[in-house]
Amino acid sequence: MKSEMRLNSPGVLVRMERVQNILFLCTGNSCRSIMAEALMNTLGKGRFKAYSAGSRPTGKVHPKAIETLKNQGIEPGDVRSKSWDEFLEADIDLVVTVCKNAAGESCPIFPGKLEKLSWWIPDPAQASGADTEIQAEFESAFFMLKDRIEDLVEGRLQAAEQVSNTRQYVT
C-alpha cells in the first residue's frame, strides 16, 4: 500500500495509507480477470480496489466464473465484461495480466508506464468435457489466482515469484 503525507486539521503532517488500485487484464474479461477482481476486492480487505477488463472483451461474464466464486464463498459483486479502454485514464497502481502465453494465447499489454505483472493462468473458458471436468478447470484457475493474490496482499510476491516454476502458473 502506498502512503502519502498530508496535513490533518490541526496542521500536523501525518502519513495516510492510500488504497491501491489494481487492474486485472485478460483477453476476453469473462473468467480469470473477473475472478481475480472479486478475489482481490475480498482478500484485499479494503487496502486494494480491484477492477478487471479485457483487450477484446466478450461482453459477457462466464456463468461458471460466477458459480465458482460463489461456491468458494466469494461475492462476485456487480461484475461485467468490459474493455480496457475504460481504464486508460484511470489512477491505476498495478496492472496484472492473467493469461497463458504458452497456450498460444495473446496476452494484452496495457499502455503506459505502470507497474505490471504477468501471471500465467490457463483459461477455463476453453475447457471442454463433462461438467465436472469443466468445473475442475474453473476451480483450478480460481485457486491459482487466490494463491497469487494472497501473496500480493501479504507482501510475499517476491517469494512467490521465486517458487513460480513449481506452481506452473506465474511469470
Of the residues 31, 50, 74, 99, only one is catalytic, namely 99
Residue type present at position 42 = T
Note if 107 is an active site residue: yes
Of the residues 22, 26, 53, 170, only one is catalytic, namely 26
Q: Cα separation of 110 and 92, whole Å?
A: 11
Of the residues 21, 82, 107, 161, only one is catalytic, namely 107
Note if 31 is an active site residue: no
Note if 99 is an active site residue: yes
Q: Which residues are catalytic?
A: 26, 99, 107
